[in-house]
Amino acid sequence: MSEPSPVTSVYRTVATSMAPIDSFELEDQDVDFDGIRLKWNRVEIPSYGADEQPLLYMIEMNEPPLDEWRPIVSGLPTTRYRVTDLVPDRDYHFRVRALSSYGVSPPSYTLPVSYRRPLPGPSRVLSEYPQIVYDESDALQLAWQPPKISSHEPIRYRVELQAPPSLAWKPLATGIPDTRYPIRGLGPSRDYMFRVVPETRAGTLEPLPPVSLTSLPAPRTFLPSQPEILDYKPDSFMLSWRRPYVDTHLPVMYRIEMQEPPSLDWRPLVSDVADTRYHVTGLQPSRDYSFRIVPYSGSDYWEPLPPVTLTSMPVKPRFRPHEPTITPFGDDSIKLSWKPADIPMYQRTPVPIRYIVDMRTLPSYDWTPLTRNILDTSYIVKGLSPLKEYQFRVRPQTDYGIGEPTMPVTFYRKPEIQGDFKFPPKVTYSIELQDRPGVGPWTPFLTGITGTNYQVTGLRPDREYFFRVRGHVGDIFGEPSAPVFLTHRAGPPKMPNEQPYISEMNPNSVHLQWRAVQLPSKITDYAPVTYRLEVQELPRSDWVILVDGIPHTDFHVTNLHPDREYNFRVRAINKYGYSEPTPLVQIRRRAVPPRMPKDEPMIYDIGHGSLMLSWRPADVPHYLSESPVTYTIYVQEPHSTTWRPLYRRIPYTSYHVTNLNPDRDYCFRVQAENQYGVSQPTNTVRLTRLSDFRSPIDIPEISEFDDTRSSLMLRWKPKQMAPFAGKPLKYHIESWEPVKRTWRSLARDIPDTSYRLTGLSPENDYILRVRAQAESALSEPSYPISTSRYRTKTPITRPQLFDVDSDSVRLSWQPYAGTITPRRYRLELRESSVPDWRPVTTDIYGTTHKVTGLKPKQDYEFRVRGITEKGPTDYVYSVPLHRRSVIPRMPLAGVDVVNVDDDYVDLSWRMVDIPAYSADDKPLAFLIEAQQLPRYDWLPVASGISDTSYRVKNLQRNQDYVFRIRGEYPSGLSQPSQHVPVYRRPIRPGVPITRPEIIDEDATSARLRWQRVYTPPYRHSEPISYQIEQQEAPHRNWRPLARGITMTEHTITDLMPKKDYLFRIRAESQNGDISAPTPPISYYKSPTQSPRIPRKTVDYKMFEQDFSVPSRCYVDHLTTFSKYKVVDSGGFQN
């Protein structure tokens, strides 16, 4: 029988789905540097029948490492083509597409071609293992030696690349005739593995052992290395390190930080070090130290270098991660070499390092010590079997113990091809699967595979798998390959390790917010995420599910008990499971009484049997603004230890006390109260009768106001009192500063008993007092007097409120001495939101009256006028009754952030005009409060600010803050202004954006909101605009949706009702620089996804009964619910 004819093929298997092309390869394996010939085969499949138009072809090419494909020829009627005009010493990738009446098919598999001239041989002897070396042009090359085979067939090589963490080998170049290959286009911070596969006409040989490239070899690239300790002495040493690999023209400075164990705090030792060496002195021989170097340039601080430790404790040696090197010496011996081990910490007493060599004979897993106490870094192993393969490793050892071993290195026995070449028998493959990696059994997944690749489908994205392959010829099965690991592509969400943020709190409710889930880069299935809110009611220790299925990142909890404490935490849930909970946030008791300052009340405007008493307002938490605070004046008379209430439930911080005996002494103090309790009393103030008052000055009097009320004449009378009697006196006038709570000097060394004060504000009230000075003796001050009692033109005083109740209040007033006393009085009131006054009663013959029938939550104003024989008098100033603990009016248009730096922020605000009821309705000063996120309590940072701008200092660099402004009034604090956030921590490094979220949505639109982050350098004067990008599933490309957005909110319209979208945001500076994007914001609308509940604040009332632990598991594993649920102690409710 003769030899067979050449084979002919009918291809029915496509290389790429829907592409009628297979067997795309080089027609001539010998490289012709004038061009290359490509050939491919057409696959006869039904969609390309003979009765249709003939197929044409198009060839595309790209040049690694670029990913751009460009066509080089189109409309080819044949399955061969010669590519010319190629540039030598470059790599190329080719692929083919089919052209038909239906359009363009997907491309075929990529054919890599190395179009390089042979390079000169190496200048030194190479081992049989590939090596990465430098060529004459100082470029990296992969070099190897040809395998030893008995045939003289020409050998070509295929170079394959592996980029961890991926375990797949990808062809980098094929048909290489030389034993060298240049390496280009690699990322500087990536790790790579290379291997060389020899190929002959008879088939593919075993790949050469792989070689790793962890970085470009030094000194071309600098990797952060540990500093070195030189010239060691017991109390000093020289610290040396390497300069970071940055622009050589960029100045780099260093900060040296020190750590003294057991403390974990790093504290600066020295800064602004320009050299890469520093002499450290002042060490204690008995202490341990750690040092690290922080490089920086200007205000940009980089990651610190690895720390170096100086210790006197015993430390085990260690190896840097590497494999020992094997050099064969015949068939039965090798030379094993390794890098020296080091001590992780510099020891004050050096110890020698010895080595242990371990060996195991494959396929055994047991390691056997081969030799011990080796002082060198190499060892010759003899007596090996020529038919066995071995693995070796090395362990370091000192007197203090044995360190971790090196990575094992394998000594392979290379097979030789002997005799004539024959076509190998047909080999098929089977894939085995392990569903629970390392635990479950290996099960056959697919058998009878003729090729060397297969698309595995039907896997669960939330599961992890091991795969391995077996080859078999007929009924003979080979050993399985090493397993390859497939991590899960979807899984339970991960919550940021941050507490929930309390944006608003009241005695019986709280509004919680939290950050959205984090999406790991390996996750490919963006399943919809909802949130679960859990509560712990102290002092109980069990956690109970409060509400489930929250579709957004905030929730409003109501009906809390003000006198109880709670802990809250949040979990994220998707269809694959639930996350770990966030750190808890604690809600302390809200039912607290007011806190009264310990200052003494002030006594002024003393008259015949009367006086004015004023005090500082009580402090109450901001969440108790709905609980009104009232005050009670207590009095104690001489020779009595009993304090009796004089006036109860006064809503203001001053009161006109009457019906006193001028010949008696009194003591006064004030207490505050709200619905939750009574405060401690203030310190006691004593009123001494005027005859016993120890001051050489009588009570001053005010007269002669000018027309503009900007000046007045102050007069007083001296009294004969030692040591001021018979001596020339000079006088000092002082004015009370109500905001600073101090007395300020207005005039000094006045020789007369009268003085004109000028430059006064007509709208302000002043409290004045006088002191006498004789030589070096300064007297006690006189009793103070206010200007308000002299400025009024009405015959009666402004009404006062006391005995305030939910539906009633008492008013009192007094006629001024020296005026016509009214025969009766008329009282009127109005609600604060209504401009019209209505009479309460017109015939009041006394100076007090009780008003009833009031609404408990309504604010009121009252005014009084007298009725004399000549007719009605003018109305006095009205007096308001507020039902809350703060003044509701705040005349601010808003708070702006003007400038931000590392440790300060400049705030500015604007006043607006509002109708004022009286002169004291305008704030005396301003108070700035700050919230240090994620804490919810507001703390005062600055008070008594008279201007409308302020610089808040001593801020932490990476801390987020929220600021707001209050007005300081004589009667208390106003409502706060709208808060302004100052975020310092971006959601992603380099992106000045945080907290992106969807705040509102409907069937065809969604409203996005985000916050600006003040990242250094802080350039608030330069405006930042924003760009929104959109991705439509299942496509992967992002397209710009809106640009030039100056606000931090934007509405996206024209969305498809049943499509899924992803959005992300970029920041754009004025000069056109665009930041990296934020993580995607999901917007799911397709029917396959869980329905998205429109964003709204959901109120939930906590149950009155005690919580109990459910009898089932804490959360059902891998369970989600499609509807919104609220959970009580009995389980779920739909």
Q: What is the DSSP string of 172-184?
A: EEEEE-SSEEE--
126 has pLDDT over 70:
no
Spell out where 681-764 has E strands. 685-687, 701-703, 712-715, 730-737, 742-750, 754-757
pTM over 0.85: no
At residue 533, does pLDDT exceed 90?
yes
Q: Write down the residue that tokens 């497939």 correspond to.
A: 486
In CATH, which of 1.10.1500.10, 2.60.40.10, 1.10.10.10, 2.60.40.1120 is domain 501-591+1103-1133?
Answer: 2.60.40.10
Predicted local distance difference test score (pLDDT) of residue 822: 83
Is the pLDDT assigned to residue 358 strictly greater than 60? yes
How high is the pLDDT of residue 518?
67
Q: Tell me the C-alpha to C-alpha distance, in Å, between residue 83 and each of 65, 108, 675.
A: 20, 17, 91
Q: Which of 544-548, 570-574, 1056-1060 has the lowest mean pLDDT?
A: 1056-1060
Token pair of 764 as six digits:
């302000």
Contact present, 685 and 615 (Cβ < 8 Å):
no
Residue ranges of E strands in 315-386: 325-328, 334-337, 346-347, 354-361, 368-374, 378-381
For domain 325-411, give the CATH number: 2.60.40.10
* CATH 2.60.40.10 segments of the chain: 21-115, 131-213, 228-311, 325-411, 428-486, 501-591+1103-1133, 595-686, 694-782, 796-881, 892-982, 993-1083
Query: What's the pLDDT at 672?
Result: 92
The pLDDT score that the predictor gives to residue 319 is: 84
pLDDT category of residue 819 using cuts at 50, 70 and 90 = low
Structure confidence by residue, pLDDT tens digits, 336-352: 999 888 776 666 677 88
Q: Tokens for 529?
A: 């995420």
- Per-residue model confidence (pLDDT) at position 884: 67
Q: Which residues contact 1130 (CB under 8 A, 6 or more apart)?
A: none
Question: Taking the domain 796-881, which CATH number applies?
Answer: 2.60.40.10
pLDDT at 605: 86
Predicted pLDDT of residue 1? 60
Instruction: State how beta strands 401-402 and 368-374 pair.
Output: unpaired
Mean pLDDT is lowest, of 176-180, 504-508, 848-852, 1076-1080, for: 504-508
For the ranges 134-138, 268-272, 689-693, 1014-1018, the maximum mean pLDDT occurs at 268-272
Residue 548 in tokens? 């489930």
> Which has more confidence, 153 or 842?
842
Give the tokens for residue 732.
């000092």
Nearest in space to 581 (alpha carbons), one of 513, 520, 516, 495: 495
pLDDT band at residue 123 using 50, 70 and 90 as cut-offs: very low
The model's confidence at residue 1090, banded by pLDDT at 50, 70 and 90, is very low
Query: What value does the mean pLDDT take over residues 583-607?
Result: 86
- Of 707-716, 761-770, 1056-1065, 1101-1110, which range is least confident? 1101-1110
Homologous superfamily in CATH for domain 428-486: Immunoglobulins (2.60.40.10)
Tokens of 320: 């840097």
DSSP 800-835: EEES--SSEEEEE--BPTTSPPPSEEEEEEEETT--
Summarize the confidence of residues 347-362 as an average pLDDT: 85
Query: What per-residue confidence (pLDDT) applies to 1020?
Result: 53
Among 98-102, 439-443, 1037-1041, the range scoring the smallest mean pLDDT is: 98-102
Lowest mean pLDDT among 339-353, 526-540, 935-949: 339-353
Question: Which of 919, 923, 912 is CA-nearest to residue 968?
Answer: 923
In the numeric block, which tokens belong to residue 338?
């390794």
- For residue 427, what pLDDT band results from cuts at 50, 70 and 90? confident
**Residue 632 pLDDT > 90:** yes
Q: Which residue has the higher pLDDT, 258 or 885?
A: 258
Query: Is residue 689 over pLDDT 50?
Result: yes
pLDDT interval class at 51 (50, 70, 90)? very low
Strands 401-402 and 346-347 turn out to be: unpaired
CATH superfamily of this structure's domain 228-311: Immunoglobulins (2.60.40.10)
Q: What is the pLDDT, as a whole number, of residue 445? A: 87
Assigned CATH class of 131-213? mainly beta
Q: Which of 378-392, 861-875, 1117-1131 has the lowest mean pLDDT?
A: 1117-1131
* Mean pLDDT confidence for 670-679: 89
Structure confidence at residue 997 as a pLDDT band (50, 70, 90): confident
pLDDT score recorded for residue 47: 46
Q: Which CATH architecture has domain 21-115?
A: Sandwich (2.60)
* Buried b or exposed e, range 314-328, using 16+ CB within 10 angstroms: ebebebeeebbebee
Which tens digit of pLDDT belongs to each residue from 711-751?
A: 888 888 887 776 677 677 888 999 988 767 788 888 888 88
Write the CATH number of the domain with boundaries 694-782.
2.60.40.10
- Please name the residues in contact with 1117: beta carbons below 8 A apart, sequence gap of 6 or more: 577
**pLDDT number for residue 567:** 92
Alpha-carbon gap, residue 592 to 620, rounded angstroms: 8
CATH assignment of 595-686, given 3.40.50.300, 3.40.50.2000, 3.90.1170.50, 2.60.40.10? 2.60.40.10
Question: Alpha-carbon torsion 1070, 1076, 1079, 1084, what sign?
Answer: positive
Q: Residue 264 pLDDT more than 70?
A: yes
Q: Cα(954)–Cα(930) distance, rounded to whole angstroms?
A: 12
State the pLDDT at residue 17. Answer: 41
Q: How confident is the model at residue 1106 (pLDDT cuts 50, 70, 90)?
A: very low
| Residues 6+ away with beta carbon under 8 Å from 1016 | 299, 300, 902
Half-sphere exposure of 665 (CA within 13 A, CB side): 11
Residue 445 CA neighbour count, 13 Å, CB half: 21
Supply the pLDDT for residue 697.
78
Q: Mean per-residue pLDDT for 137-152?
A: 75
Answer yes or no: is pLDDT of 771 > 80: yes
The CATH architecture of the domain made up of 993-1083 is Sandwich (2.60)
pLDDT level of residue 569 (50, 70, 90 thresholds): very high
pLDDT single digits (tens) 3-30: 566 555 554 444 444 567 767 788 766 5
Tens of pLDDT, residue by residue over 200-251, are: 877 788 888 888 776 543 333 344 677 888 888 888 888 998 887 665 667 8
More confident residue, 489 or 1007: 1007
Of the chain, the end-to-end C-alpha distance in Å amounts to: 82
8-state DSSP, 919: G
Structurally, what CATH architecture does the domain formed by 892-982 represent? Sandwich (2.60)
pLDDT at residue 531 greater than cutoff 90 = yes
Mean of the per-residue pLDDT values for the chain? Answer: 78
Query: What pLDDT does residue 87 have?
Result: 73
Strands 325-328 and 334-337: antiparallel
| Token pair recorded at residue 100 | 């038909």
Region class of 373: left (phi > 0), else alpha (psi between -120 and 50), else beta: left
Q: Above pLDDT 70, what percent of the chain?
A: 79
Highest mean pLDDT among 47-56, 150-159, 182-191, 717-726: 150-159
DSSP string, 503-545: EEEETTEEEEE-PPPB--TT-------EEEEEEEETT----EE
Is residue 668 pLDDT above 90, yes or no? yes
Residue 1133 CB neighbours (<10 A): 11
Helices (H) and strands (E) in the chain, counts: 1, 88
**Mean local confidence (pLDDT), 301-319:** 80
Mean per-residue pLDDT, 1063-1078:
84
